[in-house]
Structure 1
Amino acid sequence: MLIYRYIALHYFKYFFVILLALVLFMVGFDYMSNADALSKSANLTLIYLTYKTFFAIDTLLPISLVFGMIATKIYLIRSNALVSMYSLGYSRVDALKPFVLVASLIIFLFISAHAFTKFSRAQEYAYNIRVHGKYLNPSRDLFFIHKGQYIYFSKLLPIQEKAMGIRVFEVNNGSLKTVIIAKEAHYEDDYWHIKSADIITKPDDLSFSSKGITVDQEKDIKILDGFRPKMLDQVYLGQVDFTIQDAFAAYKLLSSQGVETSNIRGALYRIFIYPFFAPTLIVIIFFFVPISIRFLNISLFSFGAILSTLLVWGGLFMLIELSNHKTIPSEVGVITPITILFLIALWQWRKHRLST
């Protein structure tokens, strides 16, 4: 309908302007703070700013949706458009629907972007450019357990899907049995392939009459089925910024082995659940605003609405960081506060819908 389109277009305009302003401020402030540490290469600086922009959008998009609603609502009140809508028979719920629909659509697009772009790892890449002069820094000295094998990678190159300095220790009944030593391995067809390796075997009998340690050479050895290079890089370095594909693959593999997956669950919650605090907060704030400027102190309302939004956003951010450091479960840090906000928003929606 025409009224819905009118509200949606103004809301999208204010949202876009606010998001652009916040992103430019965040990226510009970061560049001024770190300009001396960046490489003199113009290409690397441009890539750094691009990744910082992705990170800023990832961080600021949900809160920009709420600020956009506040700005749009003030515009509708100042122009008396809201009173006119109500005079034509539209309810407060009808006026709210475009905000919720546009915000939800933008969030779904935002979540889709995490599946097809580098939003999740933008901060990691920007950090690597600033500190190491390249957006991907090789992971070093990875040591982990897989299906009873203790595995060490001296260096992991995720983009090349290659590992250097391989050591695989096989233990039987608490005693070291064999050690596989290889210079490199590459990932292909869900396995890490070692072209050539030395296999050191310790005898079961450690007496002077035993044959002693034997060293054999073998070719085409397969290890670590299902461990994708990027997943290895993130899981065993304790990182919390996963892409959707890597998070699902890591969760499936590690949960089947009984390994702790709280970081991975938290990453999925942050992608799929956390952004929806914006529509819930939009609903809650919307119903607290009077319909006419006669009953509204614009400055006081703007201050209160922005402050409330920042407090909620800051509280959610704090809980997410606590869950990242395993101080609290991911379900408590992400799902619980969003559920509480959703229930409050649902109560407000039903209350005003029944009153019309």
Structure 2
Amino acid sequence: MKLFEKYIVKNYLKNFFVIFLALDLFYVGVDLLTNYNNIPDSANLQILYALFQGMNAVNYVLPLSVVFGMIVTYFSMIKSNELICMYASSISKKALVRPFFITSLVLTLFYIGLNCTEFAYAYEYSANLKKYNRISTSSEDLFLKHDNQYIYFKKLDPLKQIAYDVTIFEVDNVDLTKIIRASVASFIQNHWMLENVSIIHKPRITSLNDNGYRTEHVDKLQTMQDFKPKIMDNVYQSEYTLSITDGIDALRFFDTQGVNTSKIKATLFYQLFFPLFAPFLIVVLYYKAPVMGRYFNMAVIASSFAFSTLVVWSGLFLLSRLASNGVIFAEIAIILPIIILFLIALYFYSKR
């Protein structure tokens, strides 16, 4: 890495982290003041709630901080005449924009990687703390379909991956063939392990010699491969989001189940592609920014850049919410605007 690139990256990261921490703490502070009467009285739970809300705030403030950090760094370089000195040293615009773009892209990809983990459920955990004074909450009376099975869960704890009072109805076309009941079921190694199982076999009688009704009892029974508790809870409750890995698993799983996956697809596309607007927008703003401040009002231009960033972010966010509600296809609402912004950035980079 060249000396000027190290200098730009260092200043950009410094400004980014200052802006990011300020916005994140501001979000948490406002939320604590707003929900002070609703959060738990325990100091430990209050700290956990603030931590989860801080993690949830990353979804909103990190893409903005990536762009704002570039704006502050660029205009500070203009103010100190560092930018014009770099141009006078025969450093091209393309060479100067690359440190901004690569650094912002790395930060964005790191954030996307976080959404592959339990980080994506930070809002759910904070909401559970506020409502139930605990991180995990149980869903009750779930009725689901899996292949030729209709499954009823009296109670499901997705965090512990345990279900209680499970009843499975197996059908052949429209004919009920088997009823499986279990007191407890645990999700182990991508399948459900039922305990204390009672199986009622309903025969298909075609003659007087056929076997009739019979009941079977087994200690354990393995069933429902890849039917993850988190997928079951979040998709059917429609309250929170899914991590990227769980979203991919949900799309694969429900693809053959005849279930509407538009909300899952919108959530997955939002987490994968929405943050990429920040690096592409940085390139566009860089080429639209002035080289020196002698003939321009830097405060007005910097404010207009910040306002443009907020307009782009809010517009893309609105489209993603419309896609999540099924109003617009996720491919059109989320992927298409990012592709258009990428092509605009590529045009500026290659032609200017």
Give me the TM-score of the superposition, normalised by structure 1.
Answer: 0.92
1:40 partner amino acid = D
Tell me, in whole angstroms, the C-alpha distance in 1 between the residues paired with 2:103 and 2:315. Answer: 25
- RMSD value over aligned CA atoms? 2.2
Are the aligned partners of 2:124 and 2:240 in contact in 1 as well (CA < 8 Å)? no
Name the counterpart of 2:218.
Answer: 218
> How far is 1:276 from its partner?
0.9
> How far is 1:230 from its partner?
2.1
1:85-234 correspondence to structure 2 within 5 Å: 85-116=86-117, 118-204=118-204, 214-234=214-234
Deviation per CA, 1:55-114, whole angstroms, max 9, x where unpaired?
111221011111111111110111111111111111222221111011011112222222
Are the aligned partners of 1:58 and 1:119 in contact in 2 as well (CA < 8 Å)? no
* SS of structure 2 residue aligned to 1:36: coil
> How far is 1:279 from its partner?
0.8
Name the counterpart of 2:80.
Answer: 79
Tell me, in whole angstroms, the C-alpha distance in 2 between the residues paired with 1:56 and 1:263. Answer: 22
Tell me, in whole angstroms, the C-alpha distance in 2 between the residues paired with 1:230 and 1:240. Answer: 11
Deviation per CA, 1:109-128, whole angstroms, max 9, x where unpaired?
22222234x32111111111
Deviation per CA, 1:2-41, whole angstroms, max 9, x where unpaired?
1111111111111111111110111100000001101110
> How far is 1:146 from its partner?
0.5
Tell me, in whole angstroms, the C-alpha distance in 1 between the residues paired with 2:66 and 2:313. Answer: 12
1:153 partner amino acid = F
Name the counterpart of 2:286.
Answer: 286
* SS of structure 1 residue aligned to 2:90: coil
Are the aligned partners of 1:196 and 1:220 in contact in 2 as well (CA < 8 Å)? yes
Tell me, in whole angstroms, the C-alpha distance in 2 between the residues paired with 1:275 and 1:323. Answer: 16
What percent identity do the matched residue pairs reach? Answer: 36
Deviates more, 1:220-229 or 1:315-324: 220-229
The unaligned stretches of length 5 or more in structure 2 are none
> How far is 1:206 from its partner?
11
Tell me, in whole angstroms, the C-alpha distance in 1 between the residues paired with 2:145 and 2:240. Answer: 20
* SS of structure 1 residue aligned to 2:199: strand
* SS of structure 2 residue aligned to 1:60: helix
Name the counterpart of 2:38.
Answer: 37
Verify: 1:25 aligned to 2:26, yes or no: yes
**Number of residue pairs matched?**
351
2:69 partner amino acid = G
1:76 partner amino acid = M
Tell me, in whole angstroms, the C-alpha distance in 1 between the residues paired with 2:193 and 2:69. Answer: 52
> How far is 1:44 from its partner?
0.6
Deviates more, 1:157-166 or 1:250-259: 250-259
Are the aligned partners of 2:121 and 2:241 in contact in 1 as well (CA < 8 Å)? yes
Tell me, in whole angstroms, the C-alpha distance in 1 between the residues paired with 2:53 and 2:285. Answer: 30
Name the counterpart of 1:2.
Answer: 3
Name the counterpart of 1:322.
Answer: 322
* SS of structure 1 residue aligned to 2:328: coil
Tell me, in whole angstroms, the C-alpha distance in 2 between the residues paired with 1:270 and 1:227. Answer: 23
Tell me, in whole angstroms, the C-alpha distance in 1 between the residues paired with 2:287 and 2:190. Answer: 53
Deviates more, 1:258-267 or 1:45-54: 258-267
> How far is 1:134 from its partner?
0.8
Deviation per CA, 1:202-257, whole angstroms, max 9, x where unpaired?
454599xx998554433322221111222222233235522232222222222244
